[in-house]
Amino acid sequence: MQYTAGQVAALLKGEIEGNPDVVVSKLSRIEEGTPGSISFLANPLYLQHVYNTAASVVIISNAFTLTAPVSCTLIKVPSADIAFQQLLEMYNQVKLNKTGISAKAEISESATLGENVYAGAFAFVGDNVRIGNNVKIYPQVYIGDNAMIGDNTTLLAGVKIYSETVVGNNCIIHSGTVIGSDGFRFNPENDHKKVPQIGNVVIEDDVEIGANCAIDRATLGSTILRKGVKFDNLIHIAHNVEVGENTYIAAHGVIAGSTKVGKNCMFSGQVGIVGHLQIADKTIITAQSGISKSITKPGEVYMGSPAFDANKYRKAYIHFRNLDGLAQRVTRLEQQQKEKETAGN
């Protein structure tokens, strides 16, 4: 893909300074720029690089004032960060714009496909599956019977969608993720027999799920990811969990069965939440925290394992770090007391 600086400026509604006809064909960081690449400058910490970068074009925020000549062509915009994000989105759309059904894909005769569907080699689509418009099914994706995939959704290589799963519009599911696997339920009172999992998973619109995640189907009913949920890699969601709209969960997050998470929550890496809890809207949980009780007040920040209010945790942690010194002090005081008592006798 090749574009002139003038074409890029028109797409971003920016102002050109320099040669509008210079051609770019790749993206780069400003400190690693090479001829033919386009970069951006949004952070003042990197301002010095604009004077010596080898990038052909640099997108720069209007707020920056340059104090020396530059060799690259500049595209001035109100926010270089936003403009470059727009450029990345355009680039990604072109790169991922696969079309056609591979002769090596296997699609059931009873499946229904919308318009402009892509299916790569060794993709499998089961009986009575319904696929929307502009769906991208990359190689080795498995979609089980009776599943539904909404418009403009992308399933990257190796994704596994079990039967009866519902995936909404504009979703992205990354490689290795499994949607609809059985919940982890065995009955010790019945010779440890497996409890059948006959529910499904429902994923609403605009959800993105990272690589190698596992979203278990419900025992009964549905495991639900509401609209706008964003997952990092390596996340496990157990049976009958519900995750509220626009909640973000970083890598290694685990939510046990039947817990309900509210809207607009943010969980850092390695957060663990036990089952059958309620987590209020706008809850923030810091990394490696363990949640063992419901959180009922919206907007609170939790830290630690078991977790509690982050401000109280930080104060308590100061005392925890001083415990060894306090213990030694108590030991000395006890020894001094014993010596006094001995001398008095």
Contact 145, 126 (CB under 8 A): yes
**Three-state SS for 189?**
helix
Q: Which of 49, 174, 239, 252 is catalytic?
A: 239
Per-residue three-class SS string for 118-144: EECCCCEECCCCEECCCCEECCCCEEC
Of 160, 170, 175, give the one whose Cα is nearest residue 135. 170
Is there a catalytic annotation at residue 174? Answer: no
Dihedral in degrees, nearest 10, Cα atoms 92, 174, 155, 130: -140
Q: Which residue has the tokens 């000549």?
A: 69
Structure tokens at 23: 């051609």
| Alpha-carbon separation of residue 53 from 20, 29, 82 (angstroms) | 18, 9, 21
* Distance between CA atoms of residues 13 and 7, nearest Å: 10
37 CB contacts (<8 Å, ≥6 apart)? 24, 25, 26, 27, 28, 54, 55, 56, 57
CA pair distance 96, 86, nearest whole angstrom: 15
Q: State residue 51 phi and psi, 5-degree precision.
A: -80, -20
Pair of tokens at residue 238: 């157990």
Quote the DSSP letter at residue 295. B
Four-CA torsion 331, 335, 337, 339, nearest 10 degrees? 180
- Residue linked to tokens 């278990």: 216
Tell me the pairing of strands 166-167 and 172-173: unpaired
List active site positions: 239
